[in-house]
């Protein structure tokens, strides 16, 4: 199996001072045999973090990008702008963006095309609501999200993030994750053929230092997308150490 990947999504958190302290702790505390590690600070901290990672294997990621290269899009940031800042990954279609910014699968797909063109690796988030899981619709929902959000020839990463597990402290159970991962792999192969076998699938949703070992040992889990616990250096480094 290839190396796992641990992605920290800092969301809208971090003053310059917090950011400097956290990055320094991560750079200094990274274990020698670490998996691939990506941190995704807010846009405003990217230029601060980039030089601090210069001699570290930790990669820089962003939390969104626009589908266009430039133009009249107030408040947005394009993929080439991120690339110019040393960013190599971008989270797309996070449920918070789908909910708070009305992002549709089609928007996410267009952003993924733009990200890939700019040389970034897209991390596309998909996940069902609690109601959808309880009514047994989750597999249909995830299948549609894959179909709608992943562009043809997709060679990025998928993050399975059940919405009910994000920021709640209530991670999906290992059985739920294992079953859903198996479904997602089958669906990726059904929709993308042989290429679907190589798409990495991360789990996200209340991953922490206590559950990381069990989550990361589930078959098909290629790593984790971590929100809250990525803001604490000790917790994030424990998750990193639990990965292979």
Residues belonging to the binding site for substrate are 9-11, 167, 206, 227-228
Provide, rounded to whole angstroms, the least separation between the CB of residue 177 and ligand PEP: 13
Nearer to ligand PEP, 223 or 228 (CB): 228
Q: In the set 27, 123, 146, 166, which binds ligand PEP (CB under 6 A)?
A: 166
Provide, rounded to whole angstroms, the least separation between the CB of residue 200 and ligand PEP: 16
128 is catalytic: no
The answer to whether the beta carbons of residues 92 and 116 sit under 8 Å apart is no
| Per-residue x/- track, 193-222, ligand PEP (CB under 6 A) | -----------xxxx---------------
Nearer to ligand PEP, 80 or 205 (CB): 205
Which structure tokens are listed for 228?
């809250």
**Residues comprising the binding site?**
9-11, 167, 206, 227-228
73 is catalytic: no
- Confirm or reject binding of residue 63 to ligand PEP (CB under 6 A): no
Nearer to ligand PEP, 80 or 204 (CB): 204
- Confirm or reject binding of residue 226 to ligand PEP (CB under 6 A): yes
Nearer to ligand PEP, 90 or 226 (CB): 226
- Confirm or reject binding of residue 227 to ligand PEP (CB under 6 A): yes
Q: Report the alpha-carbon angle 45-49-50, nearest 5.
A: 120
Residue with smallest beta-carbon separation from ligand PEP: 227
Interface contacts to ligand PEP, rule CB under 6 A: 9, 161, 166-167, 204-207, 225-229
Q: Which residues are tagged catalytic? A: 94, 161
């Amino acid at each position: 199996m290839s190396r796992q990947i641990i992605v920290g999504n800092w969301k809208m958190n971090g003053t310059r001072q917090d950011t400097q302290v956290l990055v320094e702790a991560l750079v200094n505390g990274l274990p020698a045999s670490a998996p691939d590690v990506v941190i995704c600070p807010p846009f405003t901290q990217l230029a601060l973090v980039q030089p601090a990672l210069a001699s570290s294997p930790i990669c820089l990621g962003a939390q969104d990008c626009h589908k266009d290269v430039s133009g009249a899009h107030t408040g947005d940031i394009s993929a080439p702008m991120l690339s110019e800042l040393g960013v190599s990954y971008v989270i797309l279609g996070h449920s918070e963006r789908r909910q708070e910014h009305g992002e549709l699968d089609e928007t996410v797909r267009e952003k993924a095309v733009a990200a890939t063109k700019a040389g970034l690796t897209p991390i596309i988030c998909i996940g069902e609501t609690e109601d959808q899981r309880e009514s047994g619709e989750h597999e249909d929902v995830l299948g549609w999200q894959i179909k709608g959000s992943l562009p043809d020839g997709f060679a990025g990463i998928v993050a399975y993030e059940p919405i009910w597990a994000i920021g709640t402290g209530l991670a999906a159970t290992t059985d739920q994750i294992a079953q859903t991962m198996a479904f997602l792999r089958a669906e990726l192969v059904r929709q993308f053929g042989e290429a679907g076998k190589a798409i990495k699938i991360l789990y996200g949703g209340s991953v922490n230092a206590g559950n990381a070992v069990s989550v990361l040992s589930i078959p098909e889990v290629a790593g984790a997308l971590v929100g809250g616990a990525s803001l604490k250096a000790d917790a994030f480094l424990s998750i990193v150490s639990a990965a292979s």
